[in-house]
Chain A
Amino acid sequence: DQQVKQNSPSLSVQEGRISILNCDYTNSMFDYFLWYKKYPAEGPTFLISISSIKDKNEDGRFTVFLNKSAKHLSLHIVPSQPGDSAVYFCAASANSGGYQKVTFGIGTKLQVIP
């Protein structure tokens, strides 16, 4: 049961343009959402997060939007840079028995073309 879905396995974007990565979830108990970036041969690194009480969070070139009614979040990267080429994982967490249980999507591979 895929509770966090990233339906686009890959995405190619021209340098300088906007990259939009999408994520859908099914569990309405999720109350915190995160994006992680992963380069080859490295572990995932935290990128940006958003609480369910917000609909937008911005950090430099990265903005995450949350649409709770649609159970959808997206990550916008503007402008995209070649160094942004990586796999992006969407993650969601919910309180489960007194602790936060984190569920990851399968990732979207972003390629930014110079």
Chain B
Amino acid sequence: DSGVTQTPKHLITATGQRVTLRCSPRSGDLSVYWYQQSLDQGLQFLIQYYNGEERAKGNILERFSAQQFPDLHSELNLSSLELGDSALYFCASSVVEGRGEKLFFGSGTQLSVL
């Protein structure tokens, strides 16, 4: 158990709809990352928040948005969903170790857009 909690585990929805994925980081971790893993793709970085502020943006579509709340939980909002948005979405929190940063991942939300 990584200590990172993601809900829901599975989400099935239709094209054009909007969904919200939720993440609670490990206790004490200030950073939250969102990643997308599509079939045969690696972990594509979407966005990072640190203590409520957006810190970095990756390959995140304009139809997607995220925020981190004062209690440090984060939500990823996906709107106008398309078939290609079907993927596994991971949230991670992190701890800095020496010169690097170790990520702790949740178990993911499997999104299926039909």
Known contacts A43-B2, A43-B105, A45-B2; is A34 also within 8 Å of B45 by CB? no
Enumerate chain A residues within 8 angstroms of B71, measured Cβ to Cβ: none
Q: Is the CB of B101 within 8 A of A100?
A: yes
Q: Which residues of chain B are near A34, meaning CB under 8 Å?
A: 100, 102-103
What residue in chain B is nearest A90 (Cβ atoms)?
A: B42
Chain B interface helix/strand/loop/mixed: strand
Whether the pair A104, B43 counts as a contact (CB closer than 8 A) is yes
A34 and B41 CA atoms in complex are apart in Å by: 18
Give B103 Cβ to nearest chain A Cβ, in Å.
6
Residues from chain A with a CB closer than 8 A to the CB of B92 are 43
For chain A residues 64-114, which have a beta carbon within 8 Å of chain B?
89, 91, 93, 96-97, 99-107
B14 at the interface (CB under 8 A from A): no
Q: Which residues of A contact B43 (CB under 8 A)?
A: 44, 89, 104, 107
Q: Which residues on the B side are within 8 Å of A89 (C-beta)? A: 42-43
Residues of B within 8 A of A44 (CB): 43, 90, 103, 105
Asked whether B50 is an interface residue with its Cβ less than 8 Å from the other chain, the reply is yes
Give the dominant DSSP class at A's interface: strand
**What's the Cα separation between A102 and B95 when bound, in Å?**
13
B residues near A32, Cβ cutoff 8 Å = 98-101
| B107 lies within 8 A of A42 (CB) | yes
Q: Chain B residues near A49 (CB, 8 Å)?
A: 97, 100, 102
Which of B6, B50, B104 is close to A46, meaning CB atoms less than 8 Å apart?
B104
Most A-side CB within 10 Å, residue of B33, B40, B99, B100: B100
Known A-B contacts: A99-B55, A104-B45. Give 11 more (CB < 8 A): A34-B103, A36-B105, A43-B106, A93-B101, A99-B48, A100-B101, A101-B45, A103-B45, A104-B35, A104-B43, A106-B42
Report the 10 A-B pairs with minimum CB-CB distance, sorted nearest first.
A32-B100, A43-B105, A106-B42, A104-B43, A100-B101, A43-B107, A44-B105, A104-B42, A32-B99, A43-B106
